A and B are shown apart, each in its own frame.
Chain A
Amino acid sequence: MVVIVDYKAGNLISIQKMLKKAGVGEALISGNPRDIEKATKLILPGVGHFDYGMIQLQESGLIEVLNKKVLEEKIPILGICLGAQLLTRGSEEGSQKGLGWIDADTVKFDKSKLGQKLKIPHMGWSEVRFNKEVPLFKDMPLESRFYFVHSYHLVCDRLEDVAVTSKHGYKFTAGLIKDNILGMQFHPEKSHKFGMQLLQNFIKYYK
């Protein structure tokens, strides 16, 4: 069972609808630890402030079960947007510790490197480059583009964990993958056929 983790921080229905449209079946939206316990795949969405997201996860009592599922049982988890940032050790946006499942940090866009025309947040469609040959990117159309909304971005310690890059003034990490842990900064659920393919791949190929 695919569970979209509900910790009261974001638009969950859009992900559920995109999965349905992709023809990969129903996903359960739940913030109940018992449902998450039974999950075979997890999607961790999220919109908003880093600290707000972490506090919501703690207050929903989900961190323990998530740690168990992801680190011990090694079931696939896909973090989206803030959900991807929460996988890191922490963010310049706040003072809360992240889940720390991957050796990476979340940092603010460097305004001095953006030039005059570009603004923060990075909001809109950007083309991406896939840096890893993994099933998540199978059959992705050439020149795939995704919808981004973020002021902070991911930085991995190790180059091999960088799965996707994109550009906003400078090249940044738009997706990271380490074993069963996947995080994408963009919104596949709002990115037409590109996002549909990616979500389909996640459901189909990650076991």
Chain B
Amino acid sequence: MRRIRVIPVLLIQNGGLVKSIKFKNHNYIGDPINAVKIFNEKEVDEIAIMDISATKEKRGPNLTQIKDIAGEAFMPLSYGGGITNLEEVKDLLYNGAEKVILNSCALDRMALISEISKQFGSQSVVVSIDVKKDWLGGYKVYRNNGSKKTSLSPVNFARQVEAAGAGEIVLTAIDRDGTYKGYDIELINQVANAVGIPVIACGGAGEIADFRKAVKEGHASAVAAGSMFVYASEQRGVMINYPKQDRLINEFFTKI
């Protein structure tokens, strides 16, 4: 049986855990450390934490908070937000993060991907690519937490970051974020088929059937979700949750 990673993505804004809809309307969920403790008990595969205030506030990662979070995470942890140099990456990796996630910085200074990859291995550098369809129906990469459009196509950008040494890609469809409408399979398929590194599908997951589709039809190597793991349902009542192993095995791993 092939196991696929199922990854909760946790957003941090002003130190608290939040969840967005289409990268807007951030709703306060709670204390991130508490959430990680619960995810730990639920034996989640991996956790991705993104500090969405960092780049906006022009500051680096909050190392104190990351240390506290990593101390409770007995599963792989990746961290993104505000990273601009190798020194910050080193601090993160030596303080409990397995991987760093680059977004805006991957666009500004692609050389950092190579530097990280050379020193710490390509497995430690993840590039997150946020994508929206423009009015012509073509996909474009967005930056600064989805607030600025670029002229890049996700396929071309994905190929560039792979060549630079990225170990994997988190691919998020902005318009699906928080909607429970399922992943953008076409987008995932385009990017996953264009690169040799793992592509993690993100944005829109509402049920386990969506994970299956992302892998079977989109050829994603792993799946990520936010709302599904911090809300009880589409009514958005806060409840940190994660599917039990037998459900993942019966409804996902054995069906792909």
List residues of chain A with CB under 8 Å of any chain B CB. Answer: 10-14, 17-18, 21, 47-49, 52, 117-121, 123-127, 145, 147, 149-151, 187, 189-193, 195-196
Let me know if B74 and A190 touch, CB within 8 A. yes
Task: State the Cβ distance, A23 to closest chain B Cβ, in Å.
Answer: 14
List residues of chain B with CB under 8 Å of any chain A CB. Answer: 1-5, 40, 43, 45-46, 70-71, 74-76, 93-98, 118-124, 167-168, 196-198, 219, 221-222
Main secondary structure of the interface of B (DSSP, over half): loop
Task: State the Cβ distance, A170 to closest chain B Cβ, in Å.
Answer: 13
Task: State the Cβ distance, B89 to closest chain A Cβ, in Å.
Answer: 12
What separation, in Å, do the CA atoms of A119 and B219 have in the docked complex? Answer: 11
What separation, in Å, do the CA atoms of A204 and B4 have in the docked complex? Answer: 33
Task: State the Cβ distance, B233 to closest chain A Cβ, in Å.
Answer: 27
**A124 with B94, Cβ < 8 A, contacts A49-B121, A147-B76, A192-B74 known:** no
Please give me the residue from chain B that is nearest to A18 by CB atom: B74
What separation, in Å, do the CA atoms of A22 and B102 have in the docked complex? Answer: 33
Main secondary structure of the interface of A (DSSP, over half): mixed
**A123 with B3, Cβ < 8 A, contacts A11-B96, A48-B121, A187-B76 known:** no
Let me know if B94 and A12 touch, CB within 8 A. yes
Which residue among B76, B94, B96 has the maximum number of chain A CB atoms within 10 Å of its CB?
B76
Q: A14-B74, A48-B124, A117-B2 are in contact. List 13 more A-B contacts (CB 8 A).
A: A11-B96, A13-B70, A13-B96, A47-B120, A117-B219, A119-B198, A124-B3, A149-B123, A151-B123, A189-B74, A190-B74, A192-B74, A195-B74
- Which B residues are in CB contact (< 8 Å) with A11? 93-94, 96-98
Q: Which residue of B70, B118, B119, B168 is within 8 Å of A14 (Cβ)? A: B70
A-B pairs, top 7 by smallest CB distance, nearest first, are A48-B121, A124-B5, A149-B123, A192-B43, A190-B76, A125-B3, A121-B123
